[in-house]
Structure 1
Amino acid sequence: MALPLGVALPLAFLLGSIPFGLLLVRILTGQDLRKVGSGNIGATNASRAFGEKARLPVFVLIYLLDASKGLVPTLFFLAPGSPLGARVLVGLVAILGHCFSPFLGFKGGKGVATTSGVLLALDWPAFLVGILAFFVVFGITRVVALGSLALGLGLALGIIFEDPTRAFGERLPLTSLGLFLALFLFWTHRSNLRKLLAARRA
């Protein structure tokens, strides 16, 4: 597919804004995901709407669907060989669509799965670093939010250290995206961090 950037950006935003978790939970259980658990529309909270045996398959399905919202536009909406900055912009817009969906009053998820899809399309070695960081931190803490923050930091560091000589040169758009998303994931998880800090003080 070779869409003009002016067409690819709004389409990426609209694709990113599709709330797959909310839709699947409503179709399969009749529940409003915003009234389940934490109220988040992502894979982790969506899995809480199901019984124990179904939780992992549901989590994986919704995570993959949300990741595809980042991967598909970043990888396929622009012509092959398009400038890195243009592909970065398409991926960023897809993530923002997920987090600020017009279908949900410009609210949405935390952006972890969609971020991972974008980075898989743009820089798969950095994606692997981020995923590894997630599993290491989650394995130690058993806290998904902390694993998600580690994923964001891992992606940013993976981008920089994969090619340090070009990270702030020709790969600057990608480096900027990684650093922005690492901070952005802290912002989307701010309520989780407040709860964790409150629990430690209690």
Structure 2
Amino acid sequence: MKKSIKIRNIIACKIRLRVIKWPLLSMVILALSCRTEESNNIRVLENNSLKKDSFKLSLYVKAEKEDFFDFFYVVDSITEKFSEDRKIRRKLKAGNTDEIIIFELKDSCPLKFRIDLGRNLEQKSIELQQTIISCGGKSIVIPGSISEHFFIANRYLEFSKKGDTINFLRKGGSKTPFITSSALLNKKMKLEFR
């Protein structure tokens, strides 16, 4: 009799441990998955540091070689072509630390834009850690790991599987690699900034 009671107590204890263990394990997995999801999602933040019609694009970039980035933008019509008249150039320093490249417009929020990612033929890739697009009182924050969903690459570059590295494919010499804002990003900017 004592033996059967002991066995029942042991079984009951194991069952209680399982009942406690699975929900606890489930909560830990859920907490970890939520944290990962949060860092891989686009975020919209309030940003009162800019004037109503001011625009700011901040790229958090790491590159091995010194280079130049060109920012082309369109403000009148989504069908308008990019031109040299609406271009801003910034220098990118080489190094193992993140650099912030900032493009600013004082009195307009573009409908779409293009970023030429350099002219240095020795540049093999860049790391794009994060992109922040601000206009008026809001900012759109795009983690580097999901950049390929919000930017369209031309045929001279490709996004890595992880997403935050852009590899240059300079086939045939001095072709300019660039990314343009995707239709998804253009729509997001229109919804948030207008």
TM-score (norm 2): 0.26
TM-score (norm 1): 0.25
Higher strand share: 2
Question: Whose Rg is larger?
Answer: 2
Higher helix share: 1
Instruction: Choose between structure 1 and 2 for higher RCO, CA contacts under 8 A separated by at least 6 residues.
Output: 2
